[in-house]
Chains A and B, each alone.
Chain A
Amino acid sequence: MYKRERGETTGKGLLGNKELISVLVRSFTIQASWNYERMLGLGFLFSILPGLRKISRDDGSLKSSAKRHIEFFNSHPYMASYALGSSLRLEEEFLRGGDVDDEAIRQWKKRLFTTLGSLGDNLIWKSWRPACGILGVLVSYLAGWIGPLLYLIIYNTVHLYVRTTGLFHSYFKGRESLQDLEKFFYRRLPRLLEGTICALLGSLVVILLVATSLSPASGGDRGIFLVMIVAFWALMKHFTPRALLYATSVFLMFGLFFWEIFIGR
């Protein structure tokens, strides 16, 4: 805990909840101006700006901080909140003459974004989203519109948790915040989710076989349905999912066309 000349402090830093919430709300737009040159650079500056305004002594220091944060930055959009929080803490240390300099903040961000990117991709895109997606599909077939609603609620609970704790935790802990990433939530959860996805898939196959309005009516049709799943699964070794989607559509269109010509509707 420390005090600045201005005298405003919170329990653990210069920024209060008001500024941090403002940074959090802005971080939802971090990808708004995603581009090939600096990727999330401008979004990062836009998000961190309320915090920078508060901790900067004068226009000069604000300008140099702003220039630092508009540079190239890329990360998972949710996990970027870790970078936002810890960068704010480093900026604070820099402005009060701690052992942090301009280059140290740049290096910290560089170090952080690759780690955060891969952790976020693995945890959110590759594990959490498909798990919620399959659960949503399963519930959709069983209970209709509750499925998508449940999907959005469950998915966004973790989404908002990651964004919020990422920002607040990393702001209060600074460079130590990386230790959090080692915890269960980021290391073991993806592996646990992989097993859950497979179990949900098994459940979905059974549900689709017997318990929905789209389920095949007879035993023979159920067999065909299972064979089709396995066949597509095997074909995926040689073709991309999109190629198979186009091929299936075209094949069925031609099949239907010839059926109507030769057998009749």
Chain B
Amino acid sequence: MNVSLLYYALKVSAVGGIVAADETSYGQFMLSRPIAAGFLTGIATGNLMLGTILGAVFELLYIDVLPFGGSRFPTAGFAAVISVSICGYLGLSNILEAGGIIPLLFLYSALTANIGGRLVVGVRRTNSRLLKTASGLVESGDYSKAGLIHCTGILVSFLRGFVTILVAFSLTVPFKELLETRVLGSGPGSMYLLMPFVALGLGIACKMYVTRRRIVHMFLGGFITILILYI
């Protein structure tokens, strides 16, 4: 790994860390949603358009993920971070340039998101250990240290994202040349490979929200948009 590649890997891993911390520990400003995570990775890698479009596709694919209570769910933001990172690493500025690697890219991103979600369990178990220490400190009246231990949870979450993205990205580095040969370049071929994922995202969203009663709203929205576009 040369210095610029290491710098690139650290940058995208830091974005992964921010995404993970936002998802489960600090703020929940929704920087962890793919649309924002893709955007942030786009800023970090200098591929704003690529980040925005990939983030938007993943936002639809993971729109059904609802973080209820203690449920375990995929870290959707990781999918956007890793896909934008890989495309940026291959020198692509538009997802339609990705060509033949599009299915592999989506599969790898979904797996990364899934692994990220599984690691949340580890973070929660670490937090249980932190709780025991903090409870002892509260008993002895040392609230400042107990608070500090509570905030350590943010660092643990950040590390979950940082390490997951660093490992996921590093695993792709040796395959750069192979991936580059799979990139067909811009053209209709790429669009046909991307189209099913966009359609799947819309299918997921429709399944989640469009009921028989609400289908009228959907048609109404579509109709108004057609009117706006053509008038």
The residue on A at minimum CB distance from B26 is A29
- Tell me if A106 counts as interface (CB < 8 A to partner B): no
- Tell me if B1 counts as interface (CB < 8 A to partner A): no
The residue on B at minimum CB distance from A207 is B225
Partner pick for A201 among B39, B131, B141, B209, CB 8 A cutoff: B209
Q: How many Å lie between the Cα of A77 and that of B150 in the bound state?
A: 15
Partner pick for B209 among A130, A136, A155, A228, CB 8 A cutoff: A130
Q: Are A31 and B28 in contact (CB under 8 A)?
A: yes
Q: Are A159 and B147 in contact (CB under 8 A)?
A: no
The residue on A at minimum CB distance from B154 is A32
Q: With A202-B223, A214-B96 as given contacts, are A42 and B107 in contact (CB-CB < 8 Å)?
A: no
B1-41 interface bits toward A, Cβ cutoff 8 Å, 1 = contact, 0 = none: 00000000000000000000000111111110101101100
Q: How many Å lie between the Cα of A251 and that of B197 in the bound state?
A: 12
Partner pick for A232 among B59, B102, B154, B200, CB 8 A cutoff: B200
Q: Are B52 and A145 in contact (CB under 8 A)?
A: yes
Partner pick for A136 among B59, B134, B226, CB 8 A cutoff: B59
A192-209 with Cβ < 8 A to chain B: 194-208
Q: Are B110 and A34 in contact (CB under 8 A)?
A: no
Q: With A145-B49, A198-B221, A245-B61 as given contacts, are A233 and B207 in contact (CB-CB < 8 Å)?
A: yes
- Tell me if B135 counts as interface (CB < 8 A to partner A): yes
A to B contact number (C-beta, < 8 Å): 289
Q: Are B204 and A236 in contact (CB under 8 A)?
A: yes
B198-209 interface bits toward A, Cβ cutoff 8 Å, 1 = contact, 0 = none: 111011111111
Count of B interface residues, CB-CB < 8 Å = 97
Q: How many Å lie between the Cα of A66 and that of B150 in the bound state?
A: 14
Q: How many Å lie between the Cα of A195 and that of B205 in the bound state?
A: 13
Q: Are B66 and A121 in contact (CB under 8 A)?
A: yes
Partner pick for B150 among A43, A117, A156, CB 8 A cutoff: A43
Q: Across the interface, which residues of B come within 8 angstroms of A31, CB to CB?
A: 24-26, 28
B67-100 interface bits toward A, Cβ cutoff 8 Å, 1 = contact, 0 = none: 1111000100000000000000000001110001
Q: Are B198 and A208 in contact (CB under 8 A)?
A: yes
Q: Are A147 and B56 in contact (CB under 8 A)?
A: yes
Q: How many Å lie between the Cα of A78 and that of B28 in the bound state?
A: 9
Q: Across the interface, which residues of A come within 8 angstroms of B63, CB to CB?
A: 130, 133-134
Q: With A32-B26, A43-B150, A140-B56 as given contacts, are A213 and B214 in contact (CB-CB < 8 Å)?
A: no
- Tell me if A49 counts as interface (CB < 8 A to partner B): yes
Q: With A198-B217, A213-B96 as given contacts, are A249 and B106 in contact (CB-CB < 8 Å)?
A: yes
Q: Across the interface, which residues of B come within 8 angstroms of A32, CB to CB?
A: 25-26, 150-154, 157
User: Taking chain B's interface residues, is the majority helix, strand, or loop, or is none over half, making it mixed?
Assistant: helix
Q: With A235-B203, A256-B100 as given contacts, are A46 and B222 in contact (CB-CB < 8 Å)?
A: no
How far, in Å, is A110 (CB) from chain B's closest CB? 15
Q: Across the interface, which residues of A come within 8 angstroms of B139, CB to CB?
A: 67
Q: Are A252 and B102 in contact (CB under 8 A)?
A: yes
How far, in Å, is B144 (CB) from chain A's closest CB? 9
Q: With A33-B153, A133-B63, A242-B110 as given contacts, are A201 and B33 in contact (CB-CB < 8 Å)?
A: no
- Chain A contact patch, size range: 35 or more
Q: Across the interface, which residues of B come within 8 angstroms of A221, CB to CB?
A: 195
Q: Are B196 and A248 in contact (CB under 8 A)?
A: yes
- Of A43, A70, A214, A250, the most chain B CB neighbours within 10 A belong to A214
Q: With A31-B24, A129-B30, A159-B29 as given contacts, are A225 and B195 in contact (CB-CB < 8 Å)?
A: yes
Q: Are A256 and B204 in contact (CB under 8 A)?
A: no
Q: Across the interface, which residues of A come within 8 angstroms of B114, CB to CB?
A: 242
- Tell me if B53 counts as interface (CB < 8 A to partner A): yes
Partner pick for B36 among A148, A229, A249, CB 8 A cutoff: A148
Q: Are A74 and B69 in contact (CB under 8 A)?
A: yes
B125-172 with Cβ < 8 A to chain A: 125, 127-128, 130-131, 134-135, 138-139, 141, 143, 146-147, 149-154, 157
Q: Are A211 and B151 in contact (CB under 8 A)?
A: no
Q: Are B217 and A145 in contact (CB under 8 A)?
A: no
Q: Across the interface, which residues of B come within 8 angstroms of A137, CB to CB?
A: 35, 56, 59-60
Q: How many Å lie between the Cα of A93 and that of B130 in the bound state?
A: 32
Partner pick for B225 among A46, A77, A151, A203, CB 8 A cutoff: A203
10 residue pairs of the A-B complex, CB under 8 angstroms, read A29-B27, A62-B141, A133-B35, A137-B35, A148-B36, A200-B221, A216-B191, A232-B202, A245-B200, A250-B103
Given contacts A46-B146, A250-B103, 19 further A-B contacts (CB under 8 A): A29-B150, A33-B131, A35-B128, A36-B70, A45-B150, A66-B138, A66-B143, A125-B68, A133-B63, A134-B63, A137-B59, A148-B52, A206-B225, A206-B226, A207-B225, A216-B191, A217-B188, A236-B204, A242-B110
